[in-house]
Structure 1
């Protein structure tokens, strides 16, 4: 059994919740993997899958059935917590339904896209919770197109702040909504390295870990930069960034080749991929063949640019 580890951010979250954040921080403090926790529960006659534990940890679902509540009581002992430390976070049973354990200002990534059937399994495989522990201070995307009107690279720089102690990684999700051209490869540029990377069988989603160059303490920031590299595909006519959580600042730049400039460009935002455009306005391509938009206080949803070639 793990020794009691109560202090810092874990102690605070045990007082304030939510359950998912408390469970995540307790697991991190214990140093145990999910398979080790599952084994220790099984030794007590409690059969809980790793997927279920991952769901609880990420806020995708929460324990409500009697067998699940029994497991939570055992988890408190396994993770070195006082009795009822996790159970007290659950409160009364709530109405059934998905996505009920969200933090304010967040959206499940699987909710953003109209067809996310291949994404859920990839996120569970990577198992990197982010909503409760990383605040997105700013993001900068540079989307570069070649003379054949196809995308060549997408370079992203992100500034994140840890809202918990001992945060070492984040997760990247890329969606191929054109249906052709395949998925890009991901490469580190600055202050990070690539961990596990997974793609779905339909070739719609790439999910990858970004491992920071240091472990963040509560309130620490990290500046990470990575690049997606594409093989030739269909002509690109848009790019948008999905935001599962509130973000401070966002800069999107699209760079065109001098010999392949669009006729018109438009900025847009959407709540979800198949929702109507909001905030639609025309933006102009500069003399250096680029266009950009800057937004602040981004709500969960999509922000992007689209263009017409002729």
Structure 2
């Protein structure tokens, strides 16, 4: 993992948690082995086993006793972190249930979209945790428009990093906010398969599990690719991606058929789906009939491109 990537992800988890991910990335950034960290703690008369450090790092246990909290304070100095950078992550015990409360810097999944009467129920039916266990390192969407100005496909490539042990899946949510045409189908392309799917044709929501090709422990990554295929009649004059949590890098490309080139194209952001556009700026379609936007350190909300046909 490159030092720049580690530094950016460390800054993110120091804001949002959890403790295990912050400790793991701080150790990675320091370049120290657990044996060296244990030795430096012992030099301060703080005795912590390497096994305990490994458990803290992987989220299998957390420091709670006074002696353990003293060790965490010492770790901040050893790892070159600001005072309270790690201890601030240690609040009350978190619920042990499968659904985790969303940390600062995230939004509830249903809060991103408008008209979400059924979305909570669909997410519960799929029962996939959304927040706090996967950090999206990068995301790439390629949205294709056909000659009839309709949506053809959306190919998504994602790199995610686990912030807890035993993470095996993510969740895909699609909302047809245009209201025309039916719901698409989702197909695995690389390093994943599609699990349970649930939909609400009336409110135009589709929710599906993306099951990784292996189980991830803390700090491990998955690189997955999947394709969303649209049926006839799904007209499109925009595409936006919803981000319930902060994300590292995002690339959105829209590829137009040569017989369906837009007159103008704009980039925009929104806090929620039904909120007003922000940061609107015109972008030019290239000679190969495509347009794109690239963003780093994406905040929760929506990021997209829209276009005018006439």
Displacement of 1:134 in angstroms is 0.4
Structure 1: unaligned runs, 5 residues or longer: 1-5, 25-56, 60-100
Aligned residue for 1:255?
255
2:99 aligned with 1:58: yes
SS of 2:61 mapped into structure 1: helix
Of 16, 23, 35, which residue of structure 1 is paired with 2:96? 23
Aligned residue for 2:177?
177
Write the distance in 2 (CA, Å) between the matches of 1:232 and 1:201.
15
Q: Deviations over 1:266-303 (max 9, x none)?
A: 00000011111111000000000000000110000000
Displacement of 1:17 in angstroms is 5.2
Write the distance in 2 (CA, Å) between the matches of 1:162 and 1:14.
23
Aligned residue for 1:187?
187
Structure 2: unaligned runs, 5 residues or longer: 1-51, 66-89
Judge conservation of contact 1:118–1:202 (CA < 8 Å) in 2.
no
User: Compared with structure 1, are the counterparts of its residues 134 and 232 closer, same or farther at alpha carbon in structure 2 (3 Å cutoff)?
Assistant: same
4+ aligned runs moved over 3 Å, structure 1: 17-20
Q: CA RMSD in A?
A: 1.7
Aligned residue for 1:235?
235
Of 62, 74, 92, which residue of structure 2 is paired with 1:12? 62
SS of 2:121 mapped into structure 1: helix
Q: TM-score under structure 1 normalisation?
A: 0.71
Write the distance in 2 (CA, Å) between the matches of 1:237 and 1:305.
9
Aligned residue for 1:27?
none
Aligned residue for 1:43?
none
User: Compared with structure 1, are the counterparts of its residues 13 and 264 closer, same or farther at alpha carbon in structure 2 (3 Å cutoff)?
Assistant: farther
Judge conservation of contact 1:183–1:230 (CA < 8 Å) in 2.
yes
Write the distance in 1 (CA, Å) between the matches of 2:63 and 2:104.
15
Q: TM-score under structure 2 normalisation?
A: 0.71
Displacement of 1:130 in angstroms is 2.5
Write the distance in 2 (CA, Å) between the matches of 1:294 and 1:244.
18
User: Compared with structure 1, are the counterparts of its residues 201 and 12 closer, same or farther at alpha carbon in structure 2 (3 Å cutoff)?
Assistant: same
Aligned residue for 2:220?
220
Q: Deviations over 1:186-210 (max 9, x none)?
A: 0000000000011014151100000
Q: Deviations over 1:202-227 (max 9, x none)?
A: 15110000000001111001100100
Write the distance in 2 (CA, Å) between the matches of 1:302 and 1:258.
28
Aligned residue for 1:69?
none
- Number of residue-to-residue matches in the alignment: 231
Judge conservation of contact 1:256–1:290 (CA < 8 Å) in 2.
yes
User: Compared with structure 1, are the counterparts of its residues 19 and 170 closer, same or farther at alpha carbon in structure 2 (3 Å cutoff)?
Assistant: farther
How does 1:1-310 map onto structure 2 within 5 Å?
7=55, 8-12=58-62, 16=90, 19-20=93-94, 23-24=96-97, 57-59=98-100, 101-310=101-310
Judge conservation of contact 1:118–1:201 (CA < 8 Å) in 2.
no
Q: Deviations over 1:122-150 (max 9, x none)?
A: 00111111211100111000000100000
Aligned residue for 2:18?
none
Displacement of 1:12 in angstroms is 2.5
Judge conservation of contact 1:183–1:203 (CA < 8 Å) in 2.
no
